Structure 1
Amino acid sequence: MTMTSQDVVSVLGPVDETLVTEIIASGAAPAELAEAWAWINNDEALMGEGRSLPTGRLAALVDLLSADEDAQAE
């Protein structure tokens, strides 16, 4: 299933169009974006559950979201 701008906004809320485009271009599914968002916001709890660190497309999404958060913090 191809992710749409609406899918991205439904998970992340209002975000920059460039980020939306990069997320859609990743080829990720909405569920992968939701999981990446969970990692960004609560990685200690997920590791505590015994989940493996993100890899592949999920790791790429985490990197995109982390970079966006870093840019907003500046």
Structure 2
Amino acid sequence: MSMTRQDVLSILGRVDDATIAEIIASGASLEELREAWAWAFADEALMSEGRPLPGTRMANLIDLIQPDEEGDLADPAQGNPGGSH
């Protein structure tokens, strides 16, 4: 089953429509998006657990969700303005 807009928002909070569309079009699962979020914002914890580095699809998701220079997504450590996890 593919992700919905609401699924993406439930993980990422407030994010632009183009990013949501790209994430949905990637064919990733909700679990993959959750893991990509963890890699993007808590990679040290995952490495400490001995988790293997993300594969290609995961890396593409991470690129989509990581904040760019202008800070499109809020750092979850600073609070999530768009939803809950």
Aligned to 2:71: 73
Q: Could you list the runs of 5+ residues in structure 1 that have no partner in the other structure?
A: none
Aligned to 1:23: 23
Structure with bigger helix share is 1
Aligned to 1:45: 45
The 2-side partners of 1:6 and 1:21 are apart by 12
Letter in 2 for 1:56: T
Higher relative contact order (CA 8 A, sep 6+): 2
**CA apart distance, 1:71:** 4.1
Identity of aligned residues (%): 57
The 2-side partners of 1:71 and 1:7 are apart by 25
User: 4+ residue stretches of structure 1 with deviation over 2 A?
Assistant: 71-74
How many equivalent residue pairs?
A: 72
- What is the alpha-carbon root mean square deviation over aligned residues? 1.4
Aligned to 1:12: 12
Q: Could you list the runs of 5+ residues in structure 2 that have no partner in the other structure?
A: 73-85
